[in-house]
Amino acid sequence: MTTILLGPQRFTTTVQATLRSLDREGPVAMINAGWEEREAEDAELRGVLDDRGVNVSLYGRAVEALGSDRDLRVAILEHRTRHAELRAFYGIRLQAAWDTVFAVMRRASKNDVAEGARRSAMQALRDVDDWYAYEVARIVDTTATSQVVQSSEALARQRREVAETISGAAVVAVAGGHVGILMETLRLLDVAIPPQTPVIAWSAGAMAVCNPVVLFHDFAPQGVTAPEVHDRGLGRLRGIIPLPHARRRLALEDRERMALFAKRFPAHRLVPLDDGTIVRFSGQVDPGHGPTVLPEGARYVESDGAIATWGAA
């Protein structure tokens, strides 16, 4: 019942030592669909997994299934179009709600009217997130339960082979890359990781195994500048929002901005995952058992915007 979230692996590689610490023999199922067309270029990844890696090939399988089933291809393209349109509307509403919260917070007033205005503005921001999450779930469920998806022989064959590979793995490793593509292929191939199988995940992979998947980049040159709820994750770790490349992508010194980020998700812990970070969760991973408790020593964003250490005196 182990799930380990790692910092990015490009400059500081910790996955090999982490795998060895599990002391489990057998194949390691590699999920690196976020690499898209480079998915098969996995020699380096196999090497850091002690040459035990078996590529699940989600991206390649998805391309093959879509290429051989026209109706399935049309259904998935329609799904992408609907999701993209929803994200466009969400971005408009989100940016306005985000900017409103800052405007209300910065108004020089401390009476009860001001406090009510701040609470109301924050709730309006959460309401936009909730609306988007509901609509995403509706789009996802509509596609997943459609006759086209359910009856596709090409997809069913790929799903069976994926399930066989994962069920025979001693460990599952989920790499980074494009989180949108990663989530799309995980869902299309109906990936289900047994709770008892240890998981090592980093970057986009860490985001994918939690729920929700939240995108963020305080230094983006254009577009939406607020953190965005993007999709439903696998939900292996509930109540955890990973923040890969936190130092590169977040204005961590801006306490006001970070406090707003944390308060926006009061039922979750925002966990920075920078180079060298290892956060090991052991025990309960059943989605029906509530939020996951942070392990002692894990860093997280406090409600005042500061980076704190869980369990520190």
Question: pLDDT per residue over 233-250, tens digit each?
Answer: 999 999 999 999 999 999
Provide the H-helix boundaries in the chain. 15-22, 43-48, 58-68, 70-105, 112-144, 147-151, 153-167, 179-188, 204-209, 246-249, 255-264
User: What is residue 223's predicted lDDT score, i.e. its pLDDT?
Assistant: 67
Assess whether pLDDT exceeds 70 at residue 283. Answer: no
Under the banding of pLDDT at 50, 70 and 90, the label for residue 289 is low
Q: What distance in Å separates the CA atoms of residue 267 and residue 307, rounded to the nearest whole number?
A: 17
**DSSP state, residue 65:** H
CA distance 164 to 168: 6
Q: Is 3.40.50.880 the CATH number for 2-69+152-309?
A: yes
Q: How far, in Å, are 6, 215, 245, 278 from residue 204 at the CA level?
A: 11, 10, 10, 15
Assign 104 a pLDDT band (cuts: 50, 70, 90): very high
Q: What is the DSSP letter of 1?
A: -
Residue 290 pLDDT exceeds 70: no
What span, in angstroms and rounded, lies between the C-alpha atoms of 185 and 198? Answer: 20
Instruction: Say yes or no to pLDDT of 285 above 60.
Output: no
**pLDDT tens-digit map of 127-138:** 999 999 999 999
User: Roughly how many angstroms between the first and final C-alpha of the chain, as a whole number?
Assistant: 28
pLDDT in the model for residue 189: 98
- All structural domains of the chain with their residue ranges: 2-69+152-309, 70-151
Q: Please give the distance of CA 266 from its chain centroid, rounded to a whole number.
A: 17
Return the pLDDT at 112.
77
How sure is the predictor about 11, in pLDDT bands with cuts at 50, 70 and 90?
A: confident
Record the tokens describing residue 44, joined without a space. Answer: 């380096």
